[in-house]
Amino acid sequence: MTLQQLKYIVTVAECGNITEAAEKLFIAQPSLTSAIHNIEEEMGITAFIRSNKGVELTRDGETLLSYARQILEQTDVMTEHFKGERNQKPRFSVSCQHYSFAVNAFVDVIREYDADAYNFILRETQTYEIIDDVAVGRSEIGILYLSEHNEAVLSKLINKNDLNFEELYIAKPHVFISNNHPLANKEEITIQDLMPYPYLVFEQGKHNSFYFSEEFLSSLEFSKNIMVRDRATLFNLLIGLNGFTVCSGIIDTELNGENIISKPLDSDCSMRIGILTRKNSVISRYGVSYLNVLKNHLSID
């Protein structure tokens, strides 16, 4: 199998359509279809299920895609090492929970590797998708937290996908509220204090259980619950409805706004924030830089 064939696999998977992939690769559709068939025969698998709507990866196809991306990424690392950056277009991707420090670190990496052209991706997404993104190679690094509430389930899923979890920071749970919230003047907030107010959480799709929740109190019952999909909506509702959410407490006024404040939550538990990477993979220079600035942001905050 050649590197070009591996690029075919990745492009078809990303496009979900043979015709679109062929156009992107500048080859004829029959030639691409034939190449995919040859790869499947060589590997003894069916990588794609074909339909009138396009193509979808099978489970074997997902595994093949993961290996293909790893090989191509390692080839890029090798090329960069021996040829330098001049002929390389920077490529880097991160999947994370909704953390301001993850965004700030991403900005720093882009500034460090500012170039005429680059492909950088930051995906603030659902917890299950973070694990899946790193497992299949959509992202080089994932960022999430483990705690006594979710560790058994998430660690099993992490190990099943041949991933490593590296702890970077231990955070005590905090409450995000608006600076005009009735609880804004309290030095520390209790769970009982929060009971009358709307609890805002990030929606987790079909994996919407407290094991996959970004918020620390999702195993508890609150009478008022609101699910959202993005950071801006959550913060608008915090302000407009005197709502609250529970997180690490690391806050950035430029991203979160001056109207959002963080208060310690009365709890004996902790959040172990860390990164996910694929086992036995070499992190790119962009990944190394990202981890360095990420640790700096965590230590500063």
Instruction: Please tell me the CATH code under which domain 89-168+273-300 is placed.
Output: 3.40.190.10
Q: Where are the domains of the chain?
A: 3-64, 89-168+273-300, 173-269
Class level of CATH domain 3-64: mainly alpha
* Residue range 74-133, pLDDT digits in tens: 787 677 667 655 555 667 899 999 999 999 999 999 888 776 777 889 999 999 999 999
Give, in order, the Cα–Cα distances in Å from 38 to each of 2, 29, 134: 11, 14, 27
The per-residue pLDDT for 86 is 52
* Residue range 167-209, pLDDT digits in tens: 999 999 999 999 999 999 999 999 999 999 999 999 888 877 7
pLDDT band at 301; cut points 50, 70, 90? very low
Answer whether 89-168+273-300 and 173-269 agree in fold: yes
Cα torsion 76, 81, 85, 90 to 10°: value is 30
- pTM as predicted: 0.74
Interhelix angle for 29-43 vs 59-83, to 10°? 100
- The fold of 173-269 is D-Maltodextrin-Binding Protein; domain 2 (3.40.190)
Tell me how far apart the alpha carbons of residues 244 and 194 are, in angstroms, rounded to a whole number.
8
The per-residue pLDDT for 89 is 65
Give, in order, the Cα–Cα distances in Å from 25 to each of 15, 22, 49, 52, 66: 11, 5, 20, 21, 20
The per-residue pLDDT for 216 is 74
* Residue range 205-263, pLDDT digits in tens: 887 777 888 887 766 778 899 999 888 899 999 999 999 999 888 877 676 668 899 99
**Which uninterrupted H or E stretch holds 54?**
strand 54-57
The per-residue pLDDT for 275 is 97
